[in-house]
Amino acid sequence: SYVLTQPPSVSVAPGQTARITCGGNNIGSKSVHWYQQKPGQAPVLVVYDDSDRPSGIPERFSGSNSGNTATLTISRVEAGDEADYYCQVWDSSSDHFGTGTKVTVL
Amino acid sequence: QVQLQESGPGLVKPSGTLSLTCAVSGGSISSSNWWSWVRQPPGKGLEWIGEIYHSGSTNYNPSLKSRVTISVDKSKNQFSLKLSSVTAADTAVYYCARAVVVVVAATRWFDPWGQGTLVTVSS
């Protein structure tokens, strides 16, 4: 099984930058996707294929992936960005999700 | 745009079988996508259960494979999940989602998702 490790929590002040990491063995050789999940709601895709954004997702959301770490960056953080964030990778014919990171806006 | 809606019993007895259906609207289940189930125990993370293609081909999470069956009904534009021999550990919100596959890049992502349905395993 392919393990994806995320920090349990990240705290950031409004207007600042939040960086959420997703660690996995040689993850840089795979495509990573990111989801935002607000309380009581279904996950929403915010970044796919390492760094592409679906339509309707603000440019403030960006992604990168290299080596053993993928990163979701949220610039100019707003109160509405407070949520859980999950990374996802397809490996060995199975889908794998990260452990999840709770982003708190101070 | 494509929308998905889960339905099924919210309470299942231990050792019983959990059965859910996902209705697809705004698009055809026979499109070039896979159709997946993902679950989330209360307060925990996401777990992929499995998927189906309109041809009937399936892939399952190895940890659940012995208990899971996913099927498709093209005439009703829906797909279904059955999970047998359930225990309290199977209590979760169950989501259906469309898996967008990029074969040449060997990758896929989930978009959109259904709203989810809570299934509780209890006597």
Q: What is the mean pLDDT of residues A8-33?
A: 97
For chain B, 123 residues long, the average pLDDT of each consecutive 10-residue run is 96 98 95 94 96 94 96 96 98 97 85 97 97
CB pairs under 8 A between A and B: 65
The residues on A that touch B, with CB distances below 8 Å, are 1, 30-31, 33, 35, 41-45, 48-49, 54, 86, 88, 90, 93-100
What is the model's pLDDT at position A4?
97
What is the model's pLDDT at position B105?
74
What is the model's pLDDT at position B92?
98
Structure-block tokens of residue B95: 């989501």
Cα dist. B57→B27, B34, B78, B91 in Å? 19, 9, 15, 27
**Residue A42 to residue B46, Cβ atoms within 8 A:** no
How many other C-beta atoms lie within 10 A of the C-beta of residue B103? 8
Note whether A5 and A87 are within 8 A (CB).
no
pLDDT band at A92 (very low <50, low <70, confident <90, very high): confident
Q: Find the residue in B nearest to A48 (Cα).
A: B109
Q: What is the mean pLDDT of residues A44-66?
A: 97
- Chain B contact set for A43 (CB, 8 A): 46, 95, 110, 113
- Chain B contact set for A99 (CB, 8 A): 45
Q: Nearest-CA distance from B94 to chain A in Å?
A: 10
Cα dist. B59→A95, B36, B51, B92 in Å? 10, 9, 5, 21
What is the model's pLDDT at position B107?
87
